[in-house]
Structure formats: structure tokens, C-alpha cells
């Protein structure tokens, strides 16, 4: 249509302000969608990190704390679960399987998890997906290690390499178990969960490297070599947490109650889904605050556009008079301004989405490296499309005011040259 190309040419003639308006809209759209995307993606990837586990048992503390350190490798365990409790639990008639988890060591910033080989059979993520070995095999010998996908790629390890485990979870470790190196025997396929950032060893190995330790420090004058340590009884004294699978999900509350009332030790059992729900509730406050800020920024961007449109209106009074003299209808003058606000908003949305894609593209590997959580970049979710729709609508509504003014002006000016 004639008018549409005129509108585009006119806008192009004022490209300087147009670019600034589009930029401010783009940034606000990036923020708005980014906050939403972050919320959704964090929820999705948290929720898909663990599946098929009915209960997680640990020392009595907060349910969130237990969930975070056992599954997401965040934070520190406060106390341990003794091995006799683990055995009791495993022997409970309703319990199908238990996977003990022992945390506390690390390798160059990656957590080391001591567990049993049952872990590889029972741990599931996403929609019931199992862990798959990309190379090699599960640990078999005492000093075998299986690496998560990120650990292998980031540190450049392959099968047969030797690694040294350090005490403590920090990036910079002070005490290394340098006398007892591990051999990489397997590397897992990527999962998009914290498993990717984990070094897996056997429970016995965790016990073994601490055999000559006491109360978190090497015992002076007592050094055991790898060979000597193999001769000892390596049944673990305690573990950090236990994942539990039940024969029937119906028993879940009953077993949970049983664990919570366990006499021998102060234990706690959580249902992963319920604990996640608590996590969402806690995060909701922060999310809402972020979302509020994002909406305010959108409002500011719309005000910027409004300012630009209203300022341009004075310069364009002449343009409107010429168009009216040529026979442009007064509603077309109205449409011209609304169309311009719509075009600016659309450009802002497109630029904002592209910017967000760029940011996600850069951030995804960082998040994966830091948290082991996979962010998916494409396609945008339904909620994002709704937000985009709202932004476009808001842009049009903001355009109503200058459009109405232009319309009134074009009627009131007549053929006069009023500048």
C-alpha cells in the first residue's frame, strides 16, 4: 500500500531516533523475556535433574539443604548417615534399592561422588533417561574413576589418565590425596545435569583415601600406600546421603515417616518433587521482584518511544498537511502514526529476541559449566510468545496518543502553513 511505504520512508529519514527507540525497546524485551526464560529454564532443568528416585535420605537438616547438596552438588552437608542406618534402610521390606552418596572431595573444582555401581542403573534424569557411558566402563578396581561429560571435555581427560583427588569442595584445595591417584576408566555421555560436572568413584575408594585420615586431616606419621590400603576393611563408616527407590510408590509416605522417626540416628527423608516445590516457593519472591523490574524497564522504553513520536509530530506537521492536501484520509494520518509505533515495537521485539538468543548462546555453556544445568535456546516457550504479544499490544496502545494528536492536528490545521 502507498501509505505503508511512505511511512517506512519517513521513518528511514529519521533513522537516528528510530534506532535509539528500537534499541531501548530491544533491551527491555531482552530483559523481560530473559527473566521469564531464566525462571522457566531453571525450573525445567532442576525438575529434570532427578527422576525415578522416590526418597532422598540424609542427616536431619532442612529439606532444601538436603536436596541441594545431594542432587545439585550445591552447599555442604551438615552431618552424615551412618552405614548401619543405610543397611537398615536397604533391608526395609518396602525398599527396592538404595544408592549411597558420599561427597566431600573434589578434583580441580569438580565434585567427587563416592557411590556404588547401582548408581549407574538407578539414577535417572529428564523423563526417565538413564546414564550412558560414552567411553570405557564403570569403575571396577578400587582406584577407578568415571567422569561426567563436562569434567572430561573441560579438563581434556581420556581413558587411562591419572587424576588426583583433593580434600574439600573448593576450587583451590589445600590438601590433596596425592599418594592415591585414580585412573579414568569411563566417561559418561552428556546429560545436562550436575552429573556432567561430577567425578564418580566407588564408596570404598572414598573410604580408602581417608583411611589414614581422622577428623578431616591426615594423621601425622601414619601414611598408608595404595597397596597397604587395599588390605584394609573398606566398608564405609558413613555416607552423605542415600537415594531410595521403593517397590511401590504407595509406600512413600510410610517409609518417609519411618525414616523421620528413626531411633538410632537423627535422619530425614524427602520426596524430591515436594522439596523442589518448596524451592520454587522460595524462589518465587526473587523471581517476582525481577519480573517487576523488567516490566518497569518496558514501561520506560515505551515512554522513550512516546517521547520520540510526540517530538517528531511537530516536525511532521508539514508532512501531514501535504498528505492531507493530496487526499490522504484523516484516519490514514492516524494509521500512519500507529503504524510507526507498531513498526518500532516490532523491530524492538525482533532485535530483543535476537539479543536474547545471543546472550543465551553465550550463557548456556557457562551455566552448564558452573551448575551442570542445560539451558535450551530454541524455540521460545508459549509464555514468551504471550509476553511478546503483550509488548506489541502495549506499543500500539502507546502509539494511540500521538496518533490521536496527529489526527486532531490534521483536522484543525486546514491548508494553513502553521509551523
Partner 1 sequence: MSLLLLQDIVFSWPKQLQPTVQLQRLEVAPQERIFLRGPSGSGKTTLLSLMAGIATPQHGSVSFQNQDIVPWSGSQRDRWRADQLGIVFQLFNLLPYLSVLDNVLLSARFSTARRQRAEQSGGSARQEATRLLSRLGLQEALWSRPATTLSVGQQQRVAVARALLGRPALVLADEPTSALDGDHRDQFIQLLIEEADAAGSALLFVSHDMALAKHFSRAIDLSDINHAQRQGTF
Ligand X SMILES: Nc1ncnc2c1ncn2[C@@H]1O[C@H](COP(=O)(O)OP(=O)(O)OP(=O)(O)O)[C@@H](O)[C@H]1O
Single out the residue of 17, 78, 330, 376 in contact with partner 1 (rule: CB under 8 A): 330
Site string for partner 1, 378-417 (x = CB under 8 A): ----------------------------------x-xxxx
Please count the other Cβ atoms lying within 10 Å of the Cβ belonging to residue 174. 8
Spatial distance between the Cα atoms of 410 and 406, rounded to a whole number of angstroms: 6
Rule CB under 8 A: is residue 16 a binding residue for partner 1? no
Judged by beta carbon, residue 247 or residue 418, the one nearer ligand X is: 418
Rule CB under 8 A: is residue 172 a binding residue for partner 1? no
| Residue among 189, 67, 32 at smallest CA distance from 120 | 189
Q: Dump the DSSP string for 259-317.
A: HHT-SSS-EEEE-HHHHHHHHHHHHHHHHHHHHHHHHHHHHHHHHHHHHHHHHHHHHTH
Q: How far does the chain reach from its first CA to its final CA, in angstroms?
A: 29
Residue ranges binding ligand X (CB under 6 A): 412-414, 416
50 binds, among partner 1, ligand X, none (CB under 5 to 8 A by kind): none
Spatial distance between the Cα atoms of 30 and 353, rounded to a whole number of angstroms: 6
Instruction: For residue 334, give the 3-state DSSP assignment.
Output: helix
Least separation in angstroms between CB 336 and ligand X: 20
Q: Are 337 and 410 in contact (CB under 8 A)?
A: no
Spatial distance between the Cα atoms of 207 and 212, rounded to a whole number of angstroms: 10
Judged by beta carbon, residue 51 or residue 330, the one nearer partner 1 is: 330
358 binds, among partner 1, ligand X, none (CB under 5 to 8 A by kind): none
Judged by beta carbon, residue 138 or residue 317, the one nearer partner 1 is: 317
Judged by beta carbon, residue 326 or residue 412, the one nearer ligand X is: 412
Q: Given the DSSP bridges, would you call strands 182-188 and 144-147 parallel, antiparallel or unpaired?
A: parallel
322 binds, among partner 1, ligand X, none (CB under 5 to 8 A by kind): partner 1
Site string for partner 1, 288-327 (x = CB under 8 A): ------------------------------xx-xx-xxxx
Least separation in angstroms between CB 343 and partner 1: 15
Q: Are 50 and 274 in contact (CB under 8 A)?
A: no
Judged by beta carbon, residue 272 or residue 339, the one nearer partner 1 is: 339
Kindly state the number of chain residues that form the binding site for partner 1, as judged by CB under 8 A.
23
Element (H or E) spanning 148, and its range?
none
285 binds, among ligand X, partner 1, none (CB under 5 to 8 A by kind): none
| Residue among 13, 191, 198, 7 at smallest CA distance from 103 | 198
C-alpha cell at 130: 538413564
Spatial distance between the Cα atoms of 338 and 404, rounded to a whole number of angstroms: 9
Judged by beta carbon, residue 215 or residue 415, the one nearer ligand X is: 415
Least separation in angstroms between CB 16 and partner 1: 13
Judged by beta carbon, residue 365 or residue 414, the one nearer ligand X is: 414
Spatial distance between the Cα atoms of 34 and 361, rounded to a whole number of angstroms: 12
Q: C-alpha 107: how far from its chain's center?
A: 23
The β-bridge partners of 214 are: 217
404 binds, among partner 1, ligand X, none (CB under 5 to 8 A by kind): none
Judged by beta carbon, residue 412 or residue 419, the one nearer ligand X is: 412
287 binds, among ligand X, partner 1, none (CB under 5 to 8 A by kind): none
Q: Which residues contact partner 1 (rule: CB under 8 A)? A: 2, 6, 9-10, 12-13, 318-319, 321-322, 324-331, 412, 414-417
Amino acid at each position: 500500500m502507498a501509505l505503508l511505504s511512505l511511512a517506512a520512508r519517513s521513518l528511514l529519514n529519521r533513522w537516528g531516533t528510530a534506532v535509539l527507540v528500537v534499541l531501548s525497546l530491544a533491551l527491555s524485551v531482552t530483559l523481560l523475556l530473559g527473566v521469564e526464560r531464566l525462571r522457566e529454564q531453571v525450573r525445567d532443568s532442576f525438575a529434570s535433574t532427578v527422576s525415578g528416585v522416590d526418597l532422598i535420605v540424609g542427616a536431619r537438616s532442612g529439606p532444601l539443604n538436603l536436596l541441594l547438596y545431594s542432587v545439585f552438588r550445591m552447599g555442604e552437608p551438615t552431618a552424615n548417615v551412618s552405614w548401619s542406618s543405610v543397611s537398615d534402610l536397604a533391608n526395609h521390606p518396602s525398599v527396592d534399592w538404595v544408592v549411597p552418596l558420599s561427597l566431600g572431595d573434589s578434583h580441580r573444582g569438580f565434585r567427587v561422588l563416592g557411590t556404588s555401581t547401582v548408581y549407574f542403573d538407578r539414577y535417572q534424569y529428564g523423563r526417565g533417561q538413564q546414564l550412558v557411558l560414552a567411553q570405557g566402563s564403570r569403575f571396577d578396581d578400587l582406584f577407578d574413576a568415571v567422569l561426567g561429560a563436562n569434567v572430561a571435555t573441560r579438563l581434556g581427560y581420556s581413558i587411562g589418565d591419572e587424576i588426583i583427588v583433593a580434600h574439600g569442595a573448593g576450587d583451590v584445595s589445600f590438601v590433596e590425596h596425592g599418594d592415591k591417584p585414580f585412573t579414568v576408566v569411563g566417561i559418561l555421555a552428556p546429560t545436562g545435569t550436575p552429573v556432567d560436572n561430577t567425578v564418580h568413584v566407588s564408596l570404598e575408594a572414598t573410604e580408602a583415601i581417608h583411611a589414614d585420615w581422622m577428623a578431616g586431616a591426615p594423621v601425622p606419621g601414619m601414611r598408608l600406600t595404595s597397596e597397604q590400603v587395599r588390605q584394609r576393611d573398606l566398608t564405609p563408616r558413613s555416607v552423605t546421603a542415600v537415594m531410595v527407590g521403593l517397590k511401590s510408590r504407595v509406600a512413600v509416605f510410610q517409609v518417609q515417616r519411618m525414616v523421620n522417626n528413626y531411633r538410632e540416628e537423627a535422619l530425614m527423608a524427602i520426596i524430591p518433587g515436594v522439596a523442589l516445590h518448596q524451592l520454587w516457593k522460595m524462589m518465587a519472591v526473587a523471581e517476582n521482584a525481577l519480573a517487576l523490574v523488567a516490566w518497569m524497564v518496558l514501561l520506560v522504553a515505551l515512554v522513550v518511544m512516546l517521547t520520540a513520536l510526540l517530538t517528531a509530530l511537530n516536525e511532521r506537521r508539514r508532512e501531514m498537511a501535504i498528505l492531507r492536501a493530496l487526499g490522504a484520509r484523516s484516519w490514514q494520518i492516524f494509521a500512519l502514526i500507529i503504524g510507526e509505533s507498531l513498526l518500532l515495537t516490532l523491530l524492538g521485539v525482533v532485535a530483543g529476541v535476537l539479543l536474547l538468543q545471543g546472550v543465551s548462546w553465550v550463557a548456556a555453556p557457562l551455566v552448564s559449566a558452573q551448575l551442570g544445568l542445560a539451558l535450551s535456546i530454541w524455540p521460545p516457550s508459549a509464555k514468551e510468545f504471550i509476553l511478546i504479544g503483550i509488548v506489541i499490544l502495549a506499543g500500539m496502545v502507546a502509539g494511540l496518543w500521538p496518533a490521536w494528536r496527529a489526527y486532531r492536528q490534521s483536522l484543525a490545521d486546514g491548508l494553513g502553513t502553521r509551523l
